[in-house]
Structure 1
Amino acid sequence: GVIVLDPSKTGGKDIRIYFGRPKEKGKAFGEPTIWVESPEIKEASGASNQITPQEARMRDLNYTAPIMIKLRVVEDGREKDPETIKIGDMPVMIRSKVCTLSGNKLDSYIEKNNGPINATRKEKASVYRGRP
């Protein structure tokens, strides 16, 4: 898609913002331009850290992941470097593809945090959730 900015608001410049993958013969090609990153939290110091569902729950935070988009800006016919911006946050379901603990990451997380080593996956998950 394309967004054309009003020249009366941009000092007479022709500015176009392109988003989405280029299409050829009706098929999109190239790398995705909209994606969801891993859940993270921005600390008061300004640092961003990956967050787990348990940490979000203990700190009374929403377990969300940033939605990112890559835009191409063309100003008076000259293309500038692509810009990547955050357009929002998406709530993350526990153990979904985006979740910090999806797949085998749950096992390594529990072992790293002194969880039961010789337990079954079901037992590990119940310990993680805080249930007997």
Structure 2
Amino acid sequence: MIKAIFSWVLSYRIGQLRYLVVKTYLEAASHFYKTAKFVFGIVFFISLFINGIVLTTFGIVMITPISMEARGLIVLSMGVLTIVLSIVGYFFLNSERMWIKLLRVDAVVKEISGERGRRSPF
């Protein structure tokens, strides 16, 4: 009986230690991903937005001559689409629900450490 209790306490402590190590690692990874997604979101938004402005301006300039109207409309629509996609992409990258679903830090920690199905014998 004492050996069983000691064995359970030891396995429980090892499980807690694994849980702590994995949780610390995943929290650090989560913090890194939050920072990385914020920086990437800013860069993504700025680059696509500037690209959209350039394409839109180029399209407006190309619409002016009658003979190039079709080409200008295509470039103009590409510019507007790029601006819209950059704004949608920026909000998608910064939506917390999407990143919580992707990371699932707590669920992964519980799964790895075995906390999910563990019950106390006392």
Q: TM-score, normalised by structure 2?
A: 0.29
Q: Greater strand share, 1 or 2? A: 1
Counting helix residues as a fraction of each chain, which structure ranks higher? 2
> Quick check: which has more Rg, 1 or 2?
2
